[in-house]
Amino acid sequence: MKTKKPCISLSNQIVLVLAPLLALQWPVLHLLYPQLPIPWEPLLPGVAIFASAYLLSWAAEVAEVDIPPALALGILSLAAVAPEYAVDIYFAWQGGQDPSYIPYAVANMTGGNRLLIGLGWALIVLVYAWKFRKQEVRLEPRLKLETAVLLAATVYSFVLSFKKTLSLIDTVFFFSFFLFYFFRLLKSGAHEPEAEGPVAVIQRWPALPRRMFVLGFFFLAAWTIYAASHPFAEGLLTLGRHWGVEEFILVQWLAPIASESPEFIVAVLFALKAKPTASFNTIISSTVNQWTLLVGALPLAFALSKGVICSMPMDDRQVQEVFLTSAQSLFGVVVLSNLRFSLREAGVLFFLFITQAFYPLLEPWIHVPSMDVRRGYAWIYLGVTVGILIASSTVRKDFRNLIGVFWAGGKRH
């Protein structure tokens, strides 16, 4: 009996051709035209990073067919943060040579984390509720591991705001959280969403073309991210100075949008197909990776750049940004602890995120300093979090159960 030959739809063929072309355009253009005018310098490398994020995720998913599960998990974890990682590490490394770059490393990290939770988590619930006329999303118990690790990283992150530095000790803690997460996945047997679209078809290709696809896309994405991270980061700073927009704001929001968009698109597609757990798994695993690997890598890159064992200092603005990010993350974890996410909770999360993110545009008319607004929003997050824990015995019980994940031997349900 002949097996049906796998084929790719026309739309998937277009995507598979377009993504590598969008990634390749920047290395080629940069070779031909080393200096491009504003706004092309940040725009074109940003598009290349966006496309490279797709290439990495596709290659990592296809590679699951040919490599051991442990290696596949490691590659997927690194692929999830690689584009964001490259830009943030660039700023941290430059900060070791020029202290004026340090704020941008913190800006990119806090912006990326707040975008994933405030927009990504809320968007999943809003899309799912709109599509299926549901008032809440119910998730599978297997997401408890990610939620528990995110809780640990979030609680520890409050320490950063009090000591006002990122040190190599923090690197040890954050990397330890990630390693715990990684090895628990191996022990329990990770459950990845079923491959769809072009990835599902390519996984059924013969071994040689499939492996060539993986190697080719990994190489192209790595080369593009390496070539684009520096001009993209510097282009954002130049764009801010050229247009009179604060560079910190551009780095905090535009850079994460370029690198996180593919994950948002995949998560929304899962939500539209009535797969909310797969949708949340896409976003929350990236949140865990960023709160562990990415944050831990910043002081390491800073110290390596300086060539001495030292801490990366943070000023009052950066301390407030980290505190606000920690408070938002804690609120998100408490809401997610019972594996239910209501439309009302998503609305609150989205409203608080969007109003705080766009406040700098309104500051000239409202005349309340951004420093006070950030501090106020952080305490609002913490106040709402405490209110939920006090009001709901069920949430308190589920929240305590998250802590038990760290010594529960075993299996992911």
Q: pTM score, two decimals?
A: 0.86
CATH class assigned to 13-28+37-404: mainly alpha
Task: Calculate the average pLDDT of the chain.
Answer: 85
Tens-digit pLDDT profile for residues 213-265: 888 888 888 888 888 888 888 888 888 888 888 888 888 988 888 777 777 88
Q: Which residues contact 80 (CB under 8 A, 6 or more apart)?
A: 57, 263, 285, 286, 289
Domain ranges of the chain: 13-28+37-404
Tens-digit pLDDT profile for residues 160-212: 999 999 999 999 999 999 999 888 877 765 555 555 667 777 777 888 888 88
Short-list 77, 85, 89, CA closest to 146: 77
293/115 Cα distance (integer angstroms) = 17
**Would the pLDDT of 130 be above 60?**
yes
Tokens of 213: 């696809």
Q: Which residues contact 320 (CB under 8 A, 6 or more apart)?
A: 161, 371, 374, 375, 378
Instruction: Give the pLDDT confidence score for residue 70 in this predicted structure.
Output: 52
Short-list 106, 86, 98, CA closest to 228: 86
Task: Report, in angstroms and rounded to the nearest whole number, the Rg of the chain calculated over CA atoms.
Answer: 21
Residue 410 pLDDT level (bands cut at 50, 70, 90): very low
